[in-house]
Structure 1
Amino acid sequence: MNAYFIKRDKMKYIALIFVSFMLFSCQGSARKEASNDSSSSLPPIGGAKDKYGCLIAAGYTWSKIKDECIRPWEGTITMNITDTSTNFETAAFVLMDLTKQKAELFIQEEDDSVLLDSVTPHLYANEHYKLIEENHCWSLIHQEETLYEEKK
């Protein structure tokens, strides 16, 4: 009778090993699937993008004139704010199209860039803003107040 119990115990032991192996192998694949799912919920490398797909953290924003993401401070006219007492932003940027028919403003007062149309060779305007060149320097005017000026 002892041989019967020993044989039965060996069978239980083998069955227990088999069941354990099956359980751990299933959990291993579940862990792999869980790790794959968690990586897809992470933000993309490089940070958030705006509604146009421009990488915000790298300083990119959408240009209506170029129809692509640009860094406004690269290849544009830089103008300094005239009243620094009320504002932390210190610069605005202007991009002109190749035909000089439109100017695009990148200013902190607006969420998106602003397009101005050429009125004369030294004046661009829309219903809110005027961009005027005098003495080879640009000024941005809003409601008769000069907001930004190019360094002289």
Structure 2
Amino acid sequence: NDPLLGVPVIEVTSDQSSSTVSLHKIVQPDHPIQQHTSKWTKDHPLNNIIGQLSRPVSIRLQLHEQALFCYYNDFLTYVEPKTYKEALTQSCWIEAMQEELNEYERLEVRELVPRPDKVMMITLKWIYKVKLDELGGILKNKARLVAR
């Protein structure tokens, strides 16, 4: 019984046999049904659509997420610096190093102490890696501080 679509409703009563079927009249809706030009616009009135009708409809949240991804992707780089000096020239690598140092602080894995006399110091080195997602896009820039 769908009066909005104007589809004939088939009804079988219990006193009728399974082979006898009675058709009810087609009910027309009292409001006009809007015609849409493609499958993408079937749930959206044409006057609310911005852009080409041949393209799929995007909701605001999708557009926002795409914009954020482009914004985020612009700050990442495919080039892995070889030295600390090279890393200091790009803000994305400075942020990656800061994240690594913040993790050391948060997890309390190191403690800075004054250098004792006549003791060999452990030297440290930064390792830089670009992490990629399964499609080959940049996921994040990762910096690791390791002992030599």
TM-score range, shorter chain: under 0.3
Structure ranking higher in strand proportion: 1
